[in-house]
């Protein structure tokens, strides 16, 4: 049994803590913020779970499976439906009329024919520009899900399980520096341990280990807003493929998610200055969700967030000689986004036994 200290209580930190505990290790989690969940959280305001950009759960992906495994009551989920998703300039992602177009769509989905515009657009949008076929197929087959509890419902379920097995999560504990088998906290404390697992996102990990290999990311601006109006009507979302922007109404996708009105979650991903990107997203919303600004109940805007790595990722054990392992969606695994984070956590936990213990 090793003493394992996990830095960060986002989905990677929570899932690696669980995996390490299942393998018999003694685990503690440190989180710098006052709340857990990281980028995958949402905050309940007047019954509206205001999140941090649109998040869709891959049905039967690693995260969905993990959550189902630890849940006594199954999470209530409903899918994003391609026939209610408008692609600007093209029409609905899944045309239902005329019959000819509907049949062509079905055939293209079966063959995953990238000549068909809906398949191209789905490839692009289902994984925020990463062109991941698994997620694209999931979108086209109504297998990208929205949870009634909001994305933080996932985090809550993992946190309850950690609590039940006695894994402490200390919030307000910022790790400032790491040495071999030792972490230093911002409040002056230091903790000795056998294995340190960095689950704090790439940017923070790079600050703590400056010689980590470089990783480039898809970045985005987001707007999340609760409204007392329904400016998208019955549509689940509107996609602007040329400009990499989208607005979704999570309340239309899962009516149980909010008490009334709309819960819009909008994203603009890609290159460019973050100020301009966020301004463009607001303009897009003015145009496509007319009047939204006069119906705001609660709102969150993010100028610049990392969605996922593009290209190469880092092996979980590159810093093993210093007693450090890594996890996150930027660490090597077969999956992407939070499924990548959960899958990387499983792989990382398997490496704990191969690590040198503190002398």
Q: Which residues bind ligand FAD (CB under 6 A)?
A: 7-13, 30-33, 38-40, 53-56, 174-175, 199-201, 204, 220, 222, 267, 305, 307-308, 328-329, 337-339, 341
Question: Which among 296, 300, 291 has a CA at the least distance from the CA of 232?
Answer: 291
What is the nearest approach in angstroms of ligand FAD to the Cβ of residue 77?
Answer: 13
Q: Which is nearer to ligand FAD, 79 or 328 (CB)?
A: 328
Q: Which is nearer to ligand FAD, 308 or 349 (CB)?
A: 308
Give the pair of three-digit tokens for residue 87.
């692609």
Q: Which is nearer to ligand FAD, 11 or 355 (CB)?
A: 11
Is the C-alpha dihedral spanning 281, 284, 289, 295 positive or negative? Answer: positive
Contact 12, 198 (CB under 8 A): no
Please tell me whether residue 112 adopts helix, strand or coil conformation. coil
What is the nearest approach in angstroms of ligand FAD to the Cβ of residue 179?
Answer: 14
Please tell me whether residue 346 adopts helix, strand or coil conformation. helix
What is the nearest approach in angstroms of ligand FAD to the Cβ of residue 353?
Answer: 22
How far does CA 323 lie from the centroid of its chain?
28
Please tell me whether residue 179 adopts helix, strand or coil conformation. strand
Give the pair of three-digit tokens for residue 23.
């393998």
Q: Which is nearer to ligand FAD, 48 or 52 (CB)?
A: 52
Q: Which is nearer to ligand FAD, 228 or 275 (CB)?
A: 275
Distance CA 190, CA 323 (A): 16
């Amino acid at each position: 049994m090793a003493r394992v200290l996990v830095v960060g209580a986002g989905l990677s930190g929570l899932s690696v803590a669980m995996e390490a505990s299942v393998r018999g290790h003694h685990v503690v989690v440190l989180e710098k913020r006052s709340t857990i969940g990281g980028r995958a959280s949402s905050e309940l305001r007047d019954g509206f779970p205001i999140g941090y950009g649109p998040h869709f759960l891959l049905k039967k992906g690693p995260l969905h499976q993990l959550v189902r495994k630890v849940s006594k009551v199954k999470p209530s989920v409903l899918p994003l439906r391609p026939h209610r998703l408008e692609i600007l300039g093209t029409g609905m992602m899944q045309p239902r009329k005329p019959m000819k177009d509907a049949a062509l769509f079905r055939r293209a989905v079966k063959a995953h024919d990238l000549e068909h515009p809906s398949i191209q657009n789905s490839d692009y949008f289902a994984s925020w520009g990463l062109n991941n076929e698994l997620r694209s197929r999931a979108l086209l087959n109504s297998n990208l899900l929205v949870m009634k509890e909001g994305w933080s419902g996932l985090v809550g379920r993992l946190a309850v399980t950690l609590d039940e097995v006695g894994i402490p999560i200390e919030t307000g504990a910022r790790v400032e520096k790491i040495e071999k088998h030792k972490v230093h906290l911002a409040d002056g404390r230091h903790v000795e341990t056998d294995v340190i697992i960095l689950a704090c996102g790439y940017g923070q990990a790079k600050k703590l280990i400056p010689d980590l290999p470089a990783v480039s990311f898809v970045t985005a601006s987001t707007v999340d807003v609760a409204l007392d109006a329904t400016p998208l009507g019955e549509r689940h979302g509107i996609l602007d493929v040329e400009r990499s922007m989208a607005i979704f109404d999570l309340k239309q996708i899962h009516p149980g998610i909010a008490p009334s009105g709309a819960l819009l979650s909008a994203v603009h991903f890609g290159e460019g200055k973050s100020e301009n990107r966020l301004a463009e997203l607001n303009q897009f919303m003015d145009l496509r969700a007319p009047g939204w600004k006069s119906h705001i109940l609660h709102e969150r805007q993010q100028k610049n967030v990392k969605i996922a790595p593009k290209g190469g990722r880092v092996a979980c054990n590159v810093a093993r000689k210093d007693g450090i392992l890594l996890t996150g969606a930027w660490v090597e695994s077969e999956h992407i986004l939070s499924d990548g984070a959960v899958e990387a956590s499983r792989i990382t936990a398997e490496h704990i036994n191969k690590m040198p213990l503190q002398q």
